[in-house]
Amino acid sequence: MSRALYNPRGTTAVITGASSGLGVGYAHELARRGADLVLVARRQERLEALAVDLAERFGTVSTVIPLDLTAPDAVAELVADLTSRSIPVGTLINNAGFGTIGDFVDTDPERQVAQLRLNVLALTELTHALLPGLIATATRQSGAAALVNLASTAAFQPVPHMSVYAASKAYVLSFTESVWFETRPTGLKVLAVCPGFVHTEFAAVAGSTVPKRALTVERVISSTSAALDRPRTPPKLIVGSRNTVLAGAAVIAPIRVVLTAASRRH
């Protein structure tokens, strides 16, 4: 068995979207590895229940911060809260996000703006605010710090009927790859995770159903952990061999073919 090269023990990890799905999965994995946690999401009761569960299982100290990150000043409020509590952050998991299915012309404009605020703006603002601390942790303690941004296989092509979501995830992927390159000398592990559909609440929120070939939360978490444990963590991770093939095909196929295929999958 290979040695785990990502070791956040003794540090604190911030996880957004921590009340369900992948957020809960990442919380369990980081707690198992010895990190304390800051759990951020709108649903306070779920966060508090998760904090109790993690304390009982792993002895983890979790700080619960109920917050709607689509609000314009939410990130500033979160950073101020972390500062007031003197919580130094060693890992940031930007997991919060949602999608909307439907032709762009027919969708609620306020919902689309909220989607961009969460998927793009909040992620960017929070990364910028916490990145100096992540780099400091990486410099001080080798292998202890990470930045994980949740992108999607939708990042590799335009997706009709999910146009804003796909565009937002293309931004997340491009942004994360750039930060990965910029921070290479620091030892910070930077990773964009690109799963396809996962068995979470995402589909219901977006107005769709979970396909039969959807990934499990456990598969995404274990793949993320394996990437972080590599001596040289790659800038992006596509989870699942089928998703890897589809993402590669989207890059080289004619755009009309890509758009037709993508529209049929959603």
The set of catalytic residues is: 165
Distance CA 239, CA 150 (A): 11
Assign 3-class secondary structure to the chain: CCCCCCCCCCCEEEEECCCCHHHHHHHHHHHHCCCEEEEEECCHHHHHHHHHHHHHHHCCCEEEEECCCCCCCHHHHHHHHHHHCCCCCCEEEECCCCCCCCCHHHCCHHHHHHHHHHHHHHHHHHHHHHHHHHHHHHHHCCCCCEEEEECCHHHHCCCCCCHHHHHHHHHHHHHHHHHHHHCHHHCCEEEEEECCCECCCHHHHHCCCCCCCCECHHHHHHHHHHHHCCCCCCCEEECCHHHHHHHHHHHHCCHHHHHHHHHHHC
